[in-house]
Amino acid sequence: MKLLGLNFGRVKGTSRQYLDIAVEEAKKTDPSIEVEVIDCIKLKINRCIGCGYCSRQLMGGQDQISCVQADDDYIPLMHKVLEADAIIVASPVYVLAPSGQIKNFVDRFGPAHDKAFMLFENELRKETGGVPLDPNCLKKHLVSFISVGGARTDHWVSFGLSQLDLFAMSINMKVVDKANIHGLFEAREQEEKDPDTGAVKTVRKYFPDEERIAKATEEAKHMGRRLVENYGKKNSEIAWESAPGICPVCHNNEMTFSGTDTLCCPVCGIYGTLKMDGHRTTVEFTEEEMQRSRMRFVGVLEHQIEHGRQVRYPHFEENIEKFRAMEDDM
């Protein structure tokens, strides 16, 4: 198993600290795993310029998926991600959401790496004598996320974890765990005597919150262990052990209201019904709706229908049935 750690925070920052704890625990759980940790802050990842070159390569049938911008560090990083069997992404919260560098990567790793799109194109390549796609594009990837914020309150890390899910989305990685680490230091006022004048003044100092630090350490260790333990398992055998969240699929807490009791999970794109029991609220999703989530393989298959790609693929229905049957292993 190849485990890749991606740190989007500072080289000696808190994201890297907890990423290292998770990776070390994974290595302790199975010393035979291959591990690499990358400080992405040292890399240059330009933004996507929307040229469509990657999709044209995919649909051309003769090339592997790449990027027209070959003069920065995106392509080597893309290969590292594809080659990995499991990935831990650790990012600081910047202005309520993960660092912008992740979005630059995600956009360039976007539509052309859509798992369903790649599977259909690969079938077409087989039928028309094209070049088979890199098997790393079609294999299963496990991923876990660490979001690190400075704030003590949840409402200052609002999109930290939910937007990290975007990293998993296009190639349909299986999300195993998420850790929402924040506010590890608490500001307290303290009286201090000036050693020269003897005057007493009130100063504000930051003290480590030992309880939160212990919890964060345990969560990171748990994440590292679980990635190793779940490697090779079927999706249905991988239990969710992180915070449950309101959405039963992505386990995030954001919901889009549109004026009725029908709410939409903005990450999964699925609709549920708001239920209230006194002050307790839940959102009920039908099994059918949960299957539609774009975080699930069956959900991304459906997206191909929405794109009208039946016209492009001669054996669309046959292939979609074949792919649906692969859900537990994707």
Considering the complex, what minimum distance in angstroms separates the CB of residue 94 from ligand FMN? 4
Q: Residue 94 interacts with ligand FMN (CB under 6 A)?
A: yes
What are the CA-CA distances from residue 326 to residues 233, 247, 298, 302, 311 (Å)?
13, 24, 9, 14, 23
Whole-number Å distance between alpha carbons of 84 and 134: 13
**E-assigned strands of 194-309?**
200-208, 256-257, 262-265, 270-277, 280-284
Total residues binding ligand FMN (CB under 6 A): 18
Q: How far is the CB of 97 from ligand FMN (least distance, A)?
A: 8
Tokens 């070390």 belong to 24
In angstroms, the CA 267 to CA 245 distance is 12
Q: Six-digit token pair at 177?
A: 């765990």
Backbone dihedral angles phi then psi of residue 159, each to the nearest 5 degrees:
-105, 10
Closer CB to ligand FMN, 160 or 248, in the complex: 160
First to last CA, the chain: 16
Q: Of 206 and 257, which CB lies nearer to ligand FMN in the complex structure?
A: 206
For residue 132 the two structure tokens come to 């088979």
DSSP, residue by residue, 87-149: EEEEEEEETTEE-HHHHHHHHHTSGGG-HHHHHHHHHHHHHHT-PPPPHHHHS--EEEEEEEE
Residue closest to ligand FMN when measured from CB atoms: 9
Stretch that binds ligand FMN, among 12-20, 56-64, 162-170, 313-321 (CB under 6 A): 12-20
Asked if residue 38 binds ligand FMN (CB under 6 A), the reply is: no
- The answer to whether 150 touches 93, Cβ cutoff 8 Å, is yes
CB count in 10 Å sphere of residue 3: 24
Asked if 182 touches ligand FMN (CB under 6 A), the answer is: yes
Quote the least distance from Cβ 17 to ligand FMN, whole Å.
Answer: 7
Window 258-277: residues binding ligand FMN (CB under 6 A):
none
Is residue 13 near ligand FMN by the rule CB under 6 A?
A: yes
Our CB check for ligand FMN shows the closer of 92 and 224 to be 92
| Among the residue ranges 5-13, 120-128, 166-174, 288-296, the one whose residues contact ligand FMN (CB under 6 A) | 5-13
**CB of 225: closest distance to ligand FMN in angstroms?**
22
Q: Which is nearer to ligand FMN, 8 or 120 (CB)?
A: 8
Considering only residues 142-161, where is the footprint of ligand FMN by CB under 6 A? Answer: 148-151, 156-157
Q: Which of residues 4, 5, 9, 133 is near ligand FMN by CB under 6 A?
A: 9
Please select the residue that binds ligand FMN; options are 5, 92, 98, 299, rule is CB under 6 A.
92
* Comparison of 106 and 148: residue with beta carbon closer to ligand FMN: 148
Interface segment toward ligand FMN; rule CB under 6 A; list 6-14, 131-139, 267-275, 289-297: 6-14
Closest residue by Cα to residue 108 from 43, 155, 61, 154 = 43
3-state secondary structure at position 258: coil
Asked whether position 93 contacts ligand FMN by CB under 6 A, the answer is yes
| Nearest in space to 50 (alpha carbons), one of 67, 64, 63, 65 | 67
CB nearer to ligand FMN: pick between 93 and 268 = 93
Interface with ligand FMN (CB under 6 A): 9-10, 13-16, 92-96, 148-151, 156-157, 182
